[in-house]
Structures are given as structure tokens and as C-alpha cells.
């Protein structure tokens, strides 16, 4: 069992027994569940919309090389610079290089899971650059020294009392501050930061190939401020975020907001196509887009797993997952949690270290049912399990157990040996680890043959 797997089991066991944690996330997911049906009402046929979105993403991913080149050509025409990063180290090196060229000591950052994936804040800190999260949820998490808990709502596991306590400890605000007062305090601090920052970093919800732009969706306006105030804007984005045309946003913007938060459309939707032009007053003087691979082409070359690249990170599968709702986002020990995280993390960070996440599923299929772009998530989890076996990532005892099971189950005579009690004793003795986290295997008292004979005697 890998170290990550042991940590996962230990953390999950703690969180599952933590009823207060469960109460908080069920409360927040309950609010989400109440809102989503309202958002879906805007679509005449929500299944057709999901199907169309899947088809568009299919086209984008099948022609990804051409789409990326088209994006680079269009974006460069308006003075933007494209940087291709194969892995996290290259992306970080490029950001640090740009920051040093600009004598940057202060940087503002909007919510971006990809910057979590490459651990950008840590790298910036090591280089003496103060990086401040400007999304309120991310700001709360940064103050608390915690990673985001959820890909859409980073502080979902915190109640308003938890946030008031945190602000009291870190910022000295009164402990009885209301959510409005806490938000105003955060805003007061963050407004200063936008003015001071030399560089702004954002992610992108979509890369738009035909116009050479990026689209950012948010509810607080902080991403707009992060890209417009500082003189340099750096976008870091995974290559799979591609959509072929700006007209596709007519479908993807409402789809993302409905499946992400239940809103019909998110409050701020921005398209950025380059730095400030000669005839423009606002915007950064320089703009870079770092196109990050970091394992995504491993997924691209796998015909079965490829569809996981269609993900628009709406978070719906996390909110629907019975495992996520019990163990929470941090137990996964990965940037991307929930069903989609369990599918992609073994391919992004190594099958051996993360294959255990593919077993963190009841395979109920609820994730597939709610996915905005109809990714067959539960089948991909099974596929991961299969691939890990094909790669030989199973213990000797597990291999032997299945071998014996196969031999026995293919011979009726062996299956009929002994009664249910004897089988329970032998099998539960062999699979000792099984019952550590589950009930014991329980065989029927009578064999299939015995039951069959009894049935036809009547
Ligand atoms: S896999 Fe589907 S449901 Fe889950 S985050 Fe991605 S698009 Fe949303």
C-alpha cells in the first residue's frame, strides 16, 4: 500500500466520524442542490445541452494540436505572448522569470486550480514575492494556511462562525462580525493589494481558439481587477480548457454557472484577447498565456480516458458524490478531489501513488448522472482500476487471491465444497484486510446447486 494510500485511509476515517464536518458540508451542498434545478429551468432540454457541450469538447480535444496553434497565432497578433510549459517546474520557472524582469515583489492572484496544481504560491514565496489570493474563499483558505477544499467553493467546509474566528485571530476583527462585515474587511485589504501589485495571475475557464482569447468566469470581480490593474497579466491554463469558437460560450457560460452554483449565468464573464492596445486606456501592458501540459497529454493519448479532458470544472460531481460528502475535499490529498479528481489524478501524478483514489467510489454512477458534459466518470474509475492491474500495480497476495477465486468459480464442484459457514471462515481468513473497513464477506448457507434442486422438487 503506497504512503499516499495510507494517508488517504487515515484522513478519511477521521473525517467520516466527524459529524460536525459532515453537517457543514451537507448544509452547503444542500443549498447548492436547492438552487441547481432553478438554473436548469433556463434550458428547454438540459440533456440536449449537455450532449452538445460534450460534442463541442470532443471536437476541441480531438483537434487540440490545431486549436492550440490557432489560439497562439490569433493571440500573438494582438501582442500577447504564449509560453508552452511541459510540466509544473517549467511553468513556475517562467512565472518567476517574468516576475524578476518586472522587479515584482507583490502579486495578486484570482482563483485558479491549475496554480494550486503547480504549487505556485509556495514557489513565489520562496522567491520573495508576496502572492495574495483575491477570491474571498481562496483568501480565507490562504489566511488559514489550507489548500482549497472544493474546486468551485474553496472554503465550503467552513461555517460563518469559523470564518469570523479566523478573521479575529489573523486580522483582529471582532469575533461577532457578520458575513457582510467580514467581506468588507477582506475587500478593504484586497483593494490595496491590487494597487500595489506589479503582476496579476489568473487562470482561465476557457481558451478560445478562433479569436485567440481566454474567458474567465467569477462572481466577485476580483479576476477582472487582477488582470486589469497590474501592468503585467499572466494566465496559467491547462491545455484541455480549449473551446473552438467564441460562439461556444453562449452554451458553456450558462452551463458552467448552472452546474457550478445553480446561477443562470455567473456575475462577471470576461473575455481577454491580449494586452492593452494603442487606442485603449485600460488593461495590462503585457500579457502572457502559459499553456500547461503537466500530464494532460498522458490522458490525451489514452483513448478511453481522453474524455476526462472535457471537464469544465463545474464541481457538480463532487457535490453529488457520497464519498466526497463523507470524507470531504482534503482527504483526497490531491489538487482535484471528488470523482473527476479520482479519475485524472492517477494520470497527472502517477498511477502507483494515486490508484487508490479510483477505489474511493461506490460506483453508484451519480457523478456520471450529474456531469455537465456527460463524462462517464464511474466507468473511467473502473478503467483506472483495470489499467493499474495491467500495469502490475497489485500485491502478490491480491494476485494469488484472484487466481484462486477464478479457478474455484469456474468449477462447480469446488464451489459446492463445504457449506456457507466453512466458506465464510476460509475466505474471511484469507481476505483479512477486507473486513478492516467493511463488513465481512457472507456466503449463502446453501450452494446454488442445492437451491436449484430444492426449487425444482416443488
Ligand atoms: S467531471 Fe463533469 S461534473 Fe465533474 S467537475 Fe467536470 S464537468 Fe463538472
Residue corresponding to grid cell 483526497 = 332
Smallest CA separation from ligand 1 atom 2, residue: 371
Q: What is the pLDDT of residue 458?
A: 66
Cβ neighbours, 10 Å, residue 37: 11
The closest of 189, 285, 289 to 230, measured between CA atoms, is: 285
Q: What is the pLDDT of residue 66?
A: 98
Cell digits of residue 444: 449463502
Residue 375 Cβ < 6 Å to ligand 1: yes
Residue 418 pLDDT class (50, 70, 90 cuts)? confident
Q: How far is 330 from 351, CA to CA, in rounded Å?
A: 19
Ligand 1 atom index nearest CA of 259? 8
How crowded is the C-beta side of 295, counted as CA atoms within 13 Å? 16
Q: How far is 335 from 256, CA to CA, in rounded Å?
A: 20
Ligand 1 atom index nearest CA of 312? 7
Smallest CA separation from ligand 1 atom 8, residue: 314
Residue corresponding to grid cell 446447486 = 449
Residue 311 Cβ < 6 Å to ligand 1: yes
Residue 360 Cβ < 6 Å to ligand 1: no
The closest of 197, 193, 241 to 216, measured between CA atoms, is: 241
Report, as an integer, the average pLDDT of 438-458.
88
Q: How far is 114 from 353, CA to CA, in rounded Å?
A: 20
CA distances from 32 to 173, 229, 257 (A): 29, 32, 12
Distance of CA 393 to the CA centre of its chain: 24
Distance 261 CA to ligand 1 centre (A): 13
Cell digits of residue 187: 475587500
Condensed to tens digits (0 to 9), the pLDDT of residues 321-371 reads 999 999 999 999 999 999 999 999 999 999 999 999 999 999 999 999 999
Q: What is the pLDDT of residue 206?
A: 98
Distance 260 CA to ligand 1 centre (A): 9
Residue 313 Cβ < 6 Å to ligand 1: yes
Is 90 buried (19+), middle (13-18) or exposed (0-12) by CB count in 10 A? Answer: middle
Condensed to tens digits (0 to 9), the pLDDT of residues 8-61 reads 999 999 999 999 999 999 999 999 999 999 999 999 999 999 999 999 999 999
Q: Phi first, then psi: what are they for 202, rounded to 5°?
A: -130, 165
Edge-to-edge strands of the sheet including 81-85? Answer: 81-85, 286-292, 232-238, 199-202, 106-109, 130-133
Distance 86 CA to ligand 1 centre (A): 24
CA dihedral 97, 103, 105, 111 (to 10 degrees): -50
pLDDT surpassing 90 at residue 432: no
Condensed to tens digits (0 to 9), the pLDDT of residues 172-231 reads 999 999 999 999 999 999 999 999 999 999 999 999 999 999 999 999 999 999 999 999
Residue 68 Cβ < 6 Å to ligand 1: no
Condensed to tens digits (0 to 9), the pLDDT of residues 296-326 reads 999 999 999 999 999 999 999 999 999 999 9
The closest of 356, 389, 362 to 4, measured between CA atoms, is: 356
In this structure, are residues 114 and 95 in contact, taking their beta carbons and an 8 Å threshold? no
Q: What is the pLDDT of residue 441?
A: 86
Ligand 1 atom index nearest CA of 377? 1
Residue 340 Cβ < 6 Å to ligand 1: yes
Query: Model's pTM, two decimal places?
Result: 0.92
Amino acid at each position: 500500500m503506497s504512503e499516499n494510500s495510507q494517508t488517504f485511509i487515515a484522513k478519511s476515517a477521521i473525517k467520516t466520524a466527524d459529524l460536525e464536518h459532515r453537517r457543514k458540508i451537507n448544509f452547503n451542498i444542500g443549498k447548492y442542490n436547492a438552487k441547481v434545478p432553478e438554473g436548469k429551468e433556463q434550458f428547454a432540454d438540459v440533456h440536449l445541452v449537455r450532449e452538445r457541450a460534450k460534442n463541442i469538447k470532443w471536437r476541441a480535444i480531438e483537434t487540440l494540436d490545431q486549436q492550440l496553434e490557432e489560439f497562439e497565432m490569433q493571440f500573438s497578433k494582438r501582442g500577447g505572448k504564449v509560453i508552452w510549459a511541459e510540466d509544473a517546474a517549467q511553468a513556475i520557472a517562467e512565472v518567476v522569470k517574468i516576475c524578476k524582469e518586472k522587479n515584482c515583489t507583490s502579486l495578486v492572484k484570482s482563483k485558479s486550480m491549475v496554480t494550486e496544481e503547480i504549487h505556485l504560491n509556495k514557489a513565489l514565496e520562496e522567491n520573495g514575492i508576496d502572492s495574495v489570493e483575491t477570491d474571498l474563499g481562496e483568501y480565507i483558505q490562504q489566511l488559514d494556511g489550507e489548500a482549497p477544499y472544493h474546486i468551485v467553493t474553496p472554503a465550503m467546509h467552513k461555517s460563518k462562525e469559523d470564518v469570523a474566528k479566523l478573521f479575529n485571530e489573523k486580522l483582529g476583527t471582532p469575533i461577532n462580525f457578520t458575513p457582510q462585515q467580514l467581506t468588507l474587511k477582506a475587500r478593504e485589504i484586497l483593494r490595496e493589494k491590487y494597487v500595489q501589485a506589479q503582476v496579476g495571475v489568473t487562470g482561465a475557464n476557457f481558451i478560445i481558439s478562433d479569436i485567440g482569447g481566454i474567458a474567465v468566469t467569477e462572481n466577485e470581480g476580483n479576476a477582472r481587477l487582477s488582470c486589469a490593474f497590474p501592468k503585467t497579466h499572466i494566465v496559467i491554463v491547462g491545455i484541455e480548457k480549449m473551446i473552438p469558437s467564441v460562439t461556444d460560450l453562449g452554451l458553456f457560460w450558462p452551463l458552467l454557472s448552472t452546474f457550478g452554483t445553480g446561477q443562470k449565468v455567473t456575475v462577471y464573464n470576461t473575455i481577454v484577447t491580449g494586452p492593452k492596445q494603442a487606442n485603449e486606456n485600460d488593461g495590462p501592458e503585457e500579457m502572457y498565456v502559459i499553456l500547461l501540459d503537466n500530464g494532460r497529454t498522458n490522458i490525451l493519448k489514452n483513448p478511453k480516458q481522453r474524455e476526462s479532458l472535457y471537464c469544465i470544472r463545474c464541481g457538480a460531481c463532487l457535490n453529488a458524490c457520497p464519498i466526497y460528502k463523507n470524507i470531504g475535499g482534503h482527504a483526497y490529498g490531491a489538487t482535484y478531489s471528488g470523482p473527476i479528481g479520482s479519475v485524472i489524478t492517477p494520470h497527472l501524478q502517477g498511477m502507483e501513488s494515486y490508484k487508490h483514489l479510483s477505489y474511493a467510489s461506490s460506483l453508484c454512477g451519480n457523478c456520471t448522472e450529474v456531469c455537465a458534459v456527460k463524462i462517464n466518470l464511474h466507468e473511467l474509475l473502473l478503467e483506472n482500476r483495470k489499467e493499474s492491474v495491467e500495469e502490475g500495480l497489485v500485491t502478490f497476495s491480491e494476485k494469488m487471491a484472484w487466481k484462486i477465486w477464478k479457478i474455484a468459480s469456474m468449477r462447480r464442484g469446488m464451489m459446492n465444497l463445504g457449506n456457507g459457514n466453512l466458506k465464510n471462515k476460509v475466505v474471511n481468513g484469507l481476505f483479512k484486510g477486507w473486513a478492516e473497513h467493511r463488513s465481512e464477506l457472507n456466503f449463502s448457507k446453501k450452494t446454488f446447486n442445492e437451491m436449484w434442486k430444492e426449487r425444482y422438487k416443488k
